[in-house]
Every structure is written in C-alpha cells, then in structure tokens.
Chain A
Amino acid sequence: MSTDADVNASAPAGTDGLVMGKDGMAALVDVLIGRGFTVIGPTVRDGAIVLAELGSADELPYGWGVELEAGRYRLRERSDGAAFANSAGPQSWKSFLHPSRVREWSADRAKGQLVFEADHAPPPRYAFLGVRPCDLRAIAIQDRVLTGGAHRDPVYAGRRSGALLIAVECTEPGATCFCVSMNAGPAAGPGYDLVMTEVVDDDGHRFWIRGGSQEGAEILAELPGRPADPRTREAARAGVTAAADHMGRTMPEADLRELMAGTLDAPRWDDVAGRCLTCGNCTMVCPTCFCTTTEDVTDLTGDHAERWRLWDSCFDLDFSQLHGGPVRSSSRSRYRQWMTHKLGTWYDQFGSSGCVGCGRCIVWCPVGIDITEEAAALHDWAATTGSPDDSPDPDLPHGDGPP
C-alpha cells in the first residue's frame, strides 16, 4: 500500500512503453471492452465533464478543457484537441467503487422466524480510463479505510479487486488544484495498471503509455503504437514538471495534523460557520469521503425487509444524533469536524491524510469556501497567538453532551 513518501516514485521498470495516437486510444477502449470490462471514463455531458460508461474512445472529451474557481465550473473549448487536459469534474471514482446506495441484505419473516439473506449481485468489472494522480491516491486512501482494518467492506473490496486503473498524468491543473501540497501529483504514484501522459506539440497529438502491472502489460502488448522515443518522453516529463509549477492553490507549509489539533478553539471556525450552508456538497464530491448511513425498509406485506447503505455527510445534523440531541449541533462544529478529519485526525485513524488536493470541494461549494484558505487562516492565527493552548482549563464551562 502506498505511503506519502512513495507516491511520486517512477513507474515500475521493465517497460519504456509505447507512443500511440488517437487510433491507439480507440484500440485501448476496444481491447478493454473485448476483455469484458465496463469502461468508465470522462465524457462531456450536461455542461460538465462527467465519468460515465464509454462505448468507444470517441466519447472522450477531446478538445474540452475546464475553467475552475471557488464555486465556479465552466467547460472551455480547446484548440489542441487534447482529451485529458481538464482537471477533476464533479464525480470521482468512489461513485463506482463505493456506490452511493447499495442493498446489503434482506430479511424475511415467516412464522415468526427471521431468515436473512446476503445480497449476491456480482460486482461489475470496471476499467477506469483517465484516473488522475490525485484520484489514484484517493483510491489508495479508500483502500486503506475500507479494506485495511480488521473488518473489510465487502462491497468496496469486491468492486475494487476487479478494477483496472489506467492513470493519466496531469499536465493541466486547475486553478483550485493543490495536489503538490498533498504530495499526490501531478506525476502518477503507484497502484495503476497502465499510465499515460498526453503530449500535444509540433510532432502531433500522442499518448505515451506504460504498464504498471502484469495485466496492464498484457493489454499494452495488444495496442498499436511505436516504441517510446526520447523526444516524446522528454516532452511528457516536461509537461508534468510544468504542471507542478502552476498549481492554482497551495496548503500552508506546516504539519497540518498538528495545526488542526492545535486550533480547535480558533475564532476562524466562527467565521467559516457564518458562510457555510452545511449543504454537504464538499463531502459528496470529495474522492476520499467515505461516510455512510443505513436505512432499513419493509415492503407492504410487512414480512420482507431490506438493509440499504447510503452515503452520508458529517454536515448532516442527524449524523451525530444521540437520543439527547446531536453532538455537533452548530455549523461551526460540523465544518470543523469535516476539515480537521480530512487534514488531521485521518492520520490518527488511517495513517495518512484524507485530502489529495483535487480541489473539488472548493469548486463545488456553492459559497466558494476554500479549504486551503481556511487552513492558511488557521495557520496565521496559530502563528500570532503563539503555541496553541493544549491544556484547556478543565473548569471552563463546556457543553455537556446528551444525558
């Protein structure tokens, strides 16, 4: 499993890969479909680049880019015809690996006895085409959360174990991206089966593609292309290096875990609470947020019941509900829960950051709240108030939880 340190390591040795044109991309999608994969990739729909099932490579967003800002997302036509020169859209791969709604099991009542039955639907076998480095890291993080502990989430594990990951290195970060700060891009970390870098220059529009696993290498062997030439490799590497230099956002240079733990009483939380609508959009678009709730339903006969699992959000008032009321009733405490979890307590729970710097939460927040700006404000506050108070006075009045 990846760690922070090894994410920007280079591709496994053994193949310099191929250089292929759009025909190679078309062949790749055909090969994947031929091998029985459901191919999911970016495509233009409803004014956005979304992730959807692809029937052919023609559906890739050739010639489309995006303009991103806090609270703003716009498609933009590109003259170079590039397919992957656009950064994260509203969805992430978690929609497929950790679906927003699944039936876990059902129960039937006959003569007073209950009979339980697990849901046996076989998982689809996905090929994800165009996984950005930040999202590749997000998948590694969800792997750790959902399959790395004492209990494995079988729904996630089933979908994940069959999934083929085809990464695309980032050459066109958006104005809201900060993967460099989170050490999650723009070069692809480990975990992919195939990785591509797209190059458009005087030598034409092409993809440098390399294998990262046995299965990836087998697929690579079926693709039309020529051995990678030094000019393409250099152009690809230069594009990725340049991307690292023009990230739109950056996190303060600080130990974010310590910063979060030391600023729980900062007045900035009141400030952001005044703007936050607690709509939970940031949690829905985040590629690592994993929280769910359960719903138990019965049919009209009353003798058949089902257990469903649904995405949930820590911005929901019900999320921390106890019988005496919610633990986190103020929006201040709920925004703080989200951000301190992402950047701080995630380390304690799962050994890494919960944020990969994809910027989605900034783009899709209706009021443009920016996690990097909030972190910077907390950092400034901690710097001006000296070392954060880590020994609160036990006799201060504190909110008493539910009875």
Chain B
Amino acid sequence: MTTVAPPLPYRVADTWAETADTWSIELVPVGEQLPSFAPGQFAMIYAFGVGEIPVSASGLRGRHGALVHTVRAVGAVSTALCRLRQGDTVGLSGPYGTGWDLRAAVGHDVLVIAGGIGLAPLRPVVHEVLDRPADYGSLTVLVGTRTPADMVYRDEIESWRGPARVEVTVDRPGPAWRGAVGVVTSLLDRLDLRPERTCALVCGPEVMIRHTARDLLVRGLVARRVQVSLERNMRCATGHCGHCQLGPLLLCRDGPVVSYDRVAPLLLVREL
C-alpha cells in the first residue's frame, strides 16, 4: 500500500458554547471508528477545505462512544471547528501521543492543575479518578483563567466539589467575582500537600507550566511525579514532519505528556 490513509469521517452529534470563544463538540463515527483514546491523547481534526489541527480529547465517554473535544477559536481551523453545527462532518485521526500516565498515579493523591483551556485534556483524568476513588488518594483540581467568563466546564466543575477539592482563581475579576484572584500557583499555598504521596498533572500555557512545576518541586514533589502536557506546532502527529520538536523530543510521539524531570532543562532554554 502506498497511500496515506485519510482521516475517518465523524459526524457532529452536538455542540455547545463553553465561553464566548470556546466550544465543545461531540463527535460520533459515521462508519469505521478510531481506536479508543486514553486521557491526555489527542486527535488531528480536519475541517473541510480549511485545515487540520491537534486537539485533545476532553471527554471520552459521550453517548454511543462519542468523543468530545473542546476548541478555543484562535485562528482559521479552530474557528471553523467552533462554527460546526449538529450534522456536519469532520475528518478525525488518532489517537496520538502519550497521554497522562495514570498508572503512576495509582495509590497517590492526584493534583490536577490547569490554566485556561488546559483543563480540556485533564477533564478525562478527573472523570477517571472520580470513577475509581478506591484506586487513588485525594483529588484536588486547581484552575486558573483570565476572567470568570473564560472558565470552561463551569457547571461541571461545581459538581466535582465534594468528592474533589476544587479551587479556582482568575487574573482579572469582574465585580461579581467572590473567589481568588491571581496566578494558579498562588492556590498551592492553601493546600496541605503530602508531597511524597502526590502525583501532579499540569496543562496550560508553557509559562504557567514552568512556574507551576517549579513551585511543586519547591514544595517537595519529585520531578518524576510531575507530568506536564506541552504544545508545539504539529502537522503530522506521526513523527514524520519535524514540527513538534523540543530539543531531543518529538512531542507528537514522545509527548504531549512528559514527566517534568525529562523536560525541565529543555524548558529553560530560550527559543528551543
């Protein structure tokens, strides 16, 4: 065979707005189905005639095996995906990437830290830990967003409170905001961490990841138990196009989730 397999057609079963510029899309296979996704893995989603971008799976257990993706409109393809309506078709390929190492978290307290839409790839982790409380210690979810209006999964986050400890902070509060203000790392001050028993999973802008990981190490976590999900330009997701390099790593293949001990020195090199 010498042909490149095209993506599989997936139909939009439902879409809903998360914020003014962010939409969740529920996708079901038209015919053949992709292998199942693990938390933290991503798909390449093709918008007809516009292009294809990497998007994490934000929900793995939609109706009838549906996949959910949450997309923030920042450019041509992501905007096209946010404009999809029920019944439209997209092309989907995957699953790609390493995903979160949840086996390493078994028996540990799970600390989920998300910046903005970085909560999307972490949402399946929260679902997994809530589904199997016996396998894990405590669950803590820390979320930072720009403004209260930029918060994704707002109602769902509220429903996590109880089984999980949930803290939310915003950079710029509105008049109605009663919660915390400041960067997400400031939330760490309020926690009684058991560093030797904690596994932290972090996703957000790279600068946020860097600061958060550093603060976690200061609080006694070992770098090996801090997992981060990184973002680079991706064209192929199969290790062949070269775009997603971070020094020795090809992030589509060796990531996007990597343990912090592997990437800490790389994240300190400017423009690597």
Contact = CB atoms under 8 A, between A and B. Distances in A.
Contacts of A145: 239-240
Interface string A299-326: 0001001010100101000011111000
B270 A104 contact: no
Interface in B203-234: 205-207, 210, 214, 231-233
A119 B1 CA distance: 11
Interface in A194-248: none
Contact of A104 (B4, B89, B247): B4
B34 interface: no
Nearest to A162: B2
The SS class assigned to the A binding surface is mixed
A10 interface: no
A269 B1 CA distance: 44
B233 A319 contact: yes
B52 A146 contact: no
Contacts of B8: 116
B9 A150 contact: no
Interface in A318-369: 319-323, 327-330, 332-333, 337, 340-341, 344-345, 348-349
Contact of B4 (A105, A264, A319, A329): A105
Contacts of A348: 247-249
A320 B242 contact: no
Interface stretch (B43-51, B123-131, B133-141): B43-51
A362 B168 CA distance: 55
- Most chain A Cβ neighbours within 10 Å, of B46, B74, B249: B46
Contacts of A107: 6, 46, 48-49, 91
A151 interface: yes
A321 B233 contact: yes
A292 B240 contact: yes
Interface residues of A, number: 72
Contact of B207 (A105, A123, A328, A401): A401
A290 B247 contact: no
Contacts of B163: none
B42 to A, nearest CB: 15
B4 A155 contact: yes
A36 interface: no
Interface string A241-270: 000000000000000000000001100000
A107 B249 CA distance: 32
Contacts of B1: 154, 158
Given A293-B241, A314-B242, A327-B232, A116 B6 contact: yes
Given A323-B74, A402-B205, A292 B235 contact: yes
A345 B243 contact: no
A154 B3 CA distance: 6
Contacts, number: 169
A398 B206 contact: no
Contact of B9 (A114, A122, A323, A329): A114
Nearest to B11: A113
Nearest to A148: B239
B254 to A, nearest CB: 8
B226 to A, nearest CB: 14
B65 interface: no
Contacts of A403: 205, 207
A72 interface: no
Interface of B: 1-9, 30, 46, 48-52, 74-75, 87-91, 205-207, 210, 214, 231-233, 235-236, 238-243, 245, 247-250, 253, 265, 268-272
Given A296-B49, A349-B245, A396-B268, 18 more contacts: A112-B88, A116-B91, A118-B6, A122-B2, A145-B240, A146-B240, A151-B239, A153-B238, A293-B241, A309-B4, A312-B241, A320-B233, A327-B271, A327-B272, A348-B248, A348-B249, A398-B269, A401-B206
Interface of A: 104-107, 109, 112-123, 145-146, 149-151, 153-155, 157-159, 264-265, 290-294, 296-298, 302, 305, 307, 309, 312, 314, 319-323, 327-330, 332-333, 337, 340-341, 344-345, 348-349, 390, 392, 394, 396, 398-403
* A-B pairs with lowest CB-CB distance, top 10: A158-B2, A348-B248, A291-B242, A333-B271, A116-B6, A118-B3, A151-B238, A105-B6, A401-B206, A298-B49
